[in-house]
Chains A and B, each alone.
Chain A
């Protein structure tokens, strides 16, 4: 078995496009996890009168730096900046804007084009596009991962039950899924958006209601095939419970097919979130979102940096995932395991 795994890794590496895509995607994802240290409206480090402060982790009131108010210091305010710089210094992140920071001191009208201050320009509310893209990338991938993992888990359990027990469970389960997947998801979401203001978790739950059906067919087929294998009969004769047979003896074999689909489900989930955001039924207003940026790009044709930024980030992200998925699919090819067995 370990031999097969080694061979699989070798096949994956041999697909240069997919291999490099995985590295690039991992790099981008890990970088985006540290967005707060790359694009933020708070300095990373302040030395004030010999004391050290870390505004990213802790909020300090203006009074700490000799200001007038109890409220949190606005480090972008020139008044606060002069106060601090008189008695110490600040180290700023690479981008001095967070995703929700509005550029107050601009003489230009929004959306303003790229400048040394805003390397991808600002959007129509005066927020830095680069910061929004960075945070938007992170939330898209995290949302996609959460949706993929949760819907795979539900789908695997549902498929396993149907395939293993067969008969009525299978019949009614399949009919239910046929009807359920026939429901128009988008309309339901639009209707629901009238009653509730979707948050990240609400949206995840709603999409999960409809996305779990994707893997059921595949897992069901694997279980239907496997439940007549001799080792399943042997396990049953050795007093194994149904649950143990399903999850210890059949699932590991069905998992290969399941895992193969995951990168594609991930890219599908990201696309769904983006399209909902684009239509305005997605994440709450103000959230960093690639779909919202695309919508802004559509509204502001005179400001091409909006649409182009969102387009480039989305297409790179989705292409990377598809390339990774392709390499993954080749590596998981059952023929590899079979050719090893013949040897």
Chain B
């Protein structure tokens, strides 16, 4: 088991007078090496909070996260760096996950240099290779993020996450901001990656059909709780909970 999330809880205080809002409630998730799991739930169910806690952008109130059987609580700077070398994330909004005044080349080579994967000299060549791997032309290197389309940027984001050869990549609604056709292209890219690269993934989305397409095991979240866990081949099993059936039904309505 590469990642073990054990009974994670998180509350936010919005108003001193009101009760704190419980965003995550004893959520537990496990992830094996090279396994792709999905986390599905409607807006506001705590999916993104979960991702943020895994990325240590937020701290949890209760519960524990173990990466490679080591707790990631109270890491110092160096340990956190090592952790990030193992766990990367692709964000929902491609445009806002790149600083607007930094060129693509710098975005890509920064990570490579920071984690000591290659020297400054070689980083440009390596960035070129990374771009080609995700199906983008090399001339995009010298563009600013605002000059690329959402789909192209999301490819760069995937290239950036993969560049450090992490053990886990978290996709937080990674295709939600894209149109249907671009979404399909990204999913195809991810399928290819699944074949060629070795990493586990947590695919977080509100779109259950999409998650089925890509993940082998699925967690369903509702109001901060994991309400169901099942293998995606068992989707039509009669044992599915009511809520999961509702989500599946809603997804099939679209088609």
A residues near B, CB below 8 A?
Answer: 1, 229-241, 244, 248-250, 252-253, 341
Contacts and interface: CB of A to CB of B under 8 A. Distances in A.
Nearest to A255: B101
B97 A238 contact: no
19 contacts: A230-B91, A230-B92, A231-B97, A232-B99, A234-B97, A234-B98, A234-B157, A236-B57, A237-B55, A237-B57, A238-B88, A238-B164, A239-B81, A239-B115, A244-B110, A248-B99, A249-B102, A250-B99, A253-B101
A248 B97 CA distance: 14
4 smallest CB-CB distances across A and B, nearest first, come from A239-B114, A252-B101, A238-B111, A249-B99
Contacts of B114: 238-241
A233 B146 contact: no
B245 interface: no
B128 interface: no
Given A234-B98, A239-B115, 9 more contacts: A1-B144, A230-B97, A234-B160, A236-B57, A238-B160, A239-B164, A249-B102, A250-B99, A252-B100
Given A230-B96, A230-B97, A341-B146, A238 B55 contact: no
A230 B98 CA distance: 8
Contacts of A240: 110, 114
Interface in B27-73: 52, 55, 57
Contacts of A250: 99
Interface in B73-115: 81, 84-85, 87-89, 91-93, 96-102, 106, 110-111, 114-115
Contact of B96 (A229, A239, A249, A252): A229
Contacts of A252: 99-102
Contacts of A234: 89, 91, 97-98, 157, 160
A231 B96 contact: yes
Contacts of B160: 234, 238
Chain B interface bracket (under 10, 10 to 19, 20 to 34, 35 or more): 20 to 34
A239 B147 CA distance: 25
Nearest to A231: B99
B187 to A, nearest CB: 21
Main secondary structure of the interface of A (DSSP, over half): helix
A32 B102 CA distance: 39
Contacts of B99: 229, 231-232, 235, 248-250, 252-253
Interface string B143-166: 010110000000001001000100
Nearest to B96: A230
A237 B157 CA distance: 12
A192 to B, nearest CB: 42
A250 B114 CA distance: 18
A248 B111 CA distance: 13
Contacts of B92: 230
Nearest to A2: B144
The listed residue with most B CB atoms (<10 A of its CB), out of A233, A235, A239, is A239
Contacts of B157: 234
A231 B157 CA distance: 11
Given A253-B100, A341-B146, A233 B57 contact: yes
B100 A1 contact: yes
A96 B28 CA distance: 88
A266 B87 CA distance: 48
Contacts of B101: 1, 252-253
Nearest to A228: B57
Given A1-B100, A1-B146, A252-B101, A238 B84 contact: yes
A248 B88 contact: no
A239 B111 CA distance: 7
Nearest to A250: B99
Contacts of A248: 99, 102, 106
Contacts of B87: 237
A234 to B, nearest CB: 5
A248 B85 CA distance: 21
Nearest to B163: A238
Nearest to A237: B84
A241 B113 CA distance: 12
Contacts of A239: 81, 84-85, 111, 114-115, 164
